[in-house]
Structure 1
Amino acid sequence: VLNFYTHPEIEMLIIVSEGMFSSYTQSFKSAMRLSEYCMQKLKLGNVKSRDFLEQYWSIDALCKAIRDYASLAHARKGEFVLADLLR
């Protein structure tokens, strides 16, 4: 049995995709929720809606964001993350 941790939330993958991971984690992480950051700083609407997600992501872009996030936010030893499912 393998346990996979399915974080991050989709908003974090959008932040990574937009190249704003360090900006969020250094300046806004404790003060602003991910969804608020996406709306206020990235000027993106309802980032959890199906319509938005289908328009925003291509398969390649989503896979890249998942891999990029895995390299930016390191998992604990022995934990599997979404990027591990792509291998």
Structure 2
Amino acid sequence: MVTELAILTALPGGADELGRAIAAGVPHLRRHPDCRSVSVSRCLEEPGRFTVSVDWTSVEAHEQGFRSSPLFERWIGSIAGLFDPATLDTRHYEPYPA
């Protein structure tokens, strides 16, 4: 399992709208068979910043499976135009023994 962590920053004045759009789009992520869980967080210091954390079965399941599916288009469509694409940061993480 891998965790995709995406950080999105709302356009000026659009923090609440982006938050609602992310929440409305989460069901599209959850419908994909390789999605194991999704959580969304809002930054306390910068309320226009959100993290979307998605557990996928693999990086390939996310990048090739989900991103080539109609669910991806619905997810992106729900948040398009509400965040600054220049600040988008999406990375994949794996468990680390600690």
Question: Is the shorter-chain TM-score for this pair beyond 0.5, marking a shared fold?
Answer: no
Whose helix proportion is higher, 1 or 2?
1
TM-score (norm 2): 0.29
TM-score (norm 1): 0.31
Whose strand proportion is higher, 1 or 2?
2
